[in-house]
Homo-oligomer: A and B are copies of this chain.
Amino acid sequence: LTKVALSPDGIFRAALRLVDAAGLDALTMRRLATELGVATMSLYSHVPTKDDLVVGMVDLATREIRLPEATAEPWEAWKTITREFRRVSLLHPNLVGLIVLRPPRGAQGLRTLEAALDALRRAGIPASRAASAYRLAASFAIGFVTLESRFFRPVEPTAAADVTPIDPSELPRIGEVARYLVDWDADVEFEAGLDAMMGVMRGLVDGD
């Protein structure tokens, strides 16, 4: 239906649109080809396999991350990178699983890692501890986005497998905080988390 000249990037873009609209399961070579108004096998002139298609699609999505100037104040630079990671991830909630599980091996992933390490190093964290600091901060960012993305995806029907439902009276703590589990401000908590992680990482600066 879109009917433009085929190209890897155009195919990745269409795949991304399809996954955003209908979920990862909806991405099939046949359906994507139909969406593009071409024969299924035409896609293989531009993309070697479906796995490569998925990788290319994820790369396209993450390429939207905008990195800060190399001269930006270090902690603010690190925050910007982390905010951008969250922003772009949540533009494509159905891709979050793929994004967080894949090591950053593409060009954009490496550049993002480089920028994050540069910020931490410029902030005064020695090389011997920068990787640890990065992993701590990245753990928070990845986990937060993963948690948050659950709210952006449809609730699956409860499995028939879980046959022994639990009595709510056995879950008093959940009852006590239920409203705070459902209603919460993700933006505020993410910023609070950024500040908390920064506080921890500041303890790793220099001659500590």
Q: Which residues of A contact B (CB under 8 A)?
A: 8, 12, 47-48, 51-53, 55-56, 59, 96-97, 100-103, 105-107, 110-111, 113-114, 117-118, 121, 127-132, 135-136, 138-144, 146-147, 149-150, 153, 155-156, 158-162, 164-166, 170-174, 176-177, 180-181, 184, 189, 192-193, 196, 199-200
Contact = CB atoms under 8 A, between A and B. Distances in A.
Question: Oligomeric state, in number of copies?
Answer: 2
7 interchain residue pairs of minimum CB distance: A143-B143, A56-B161, A139-B143, A131-B180, A142-B143, A55-B159, A117-B173
Contacts of A165: 107
Q: Which of A53, A100, A156, A200 has the most CB of B within 10 A?
A: A100
Contacts of A114: 170-174
26 contacts: A51-B156, A53-B161, A55-B156, A55-B162, A56-B162, A59-B159, A96-B101, A101-B150, A102-B150, A106-B159, A107-B165, A107-B166, A111-B170, A114-B173, A117-B176, A121-B177, A128-B180, A132-B192, A136-B192, A138-B143, A138-B147, A140-B140, A141-B143, A142-B142, A142-B146, A143-B146
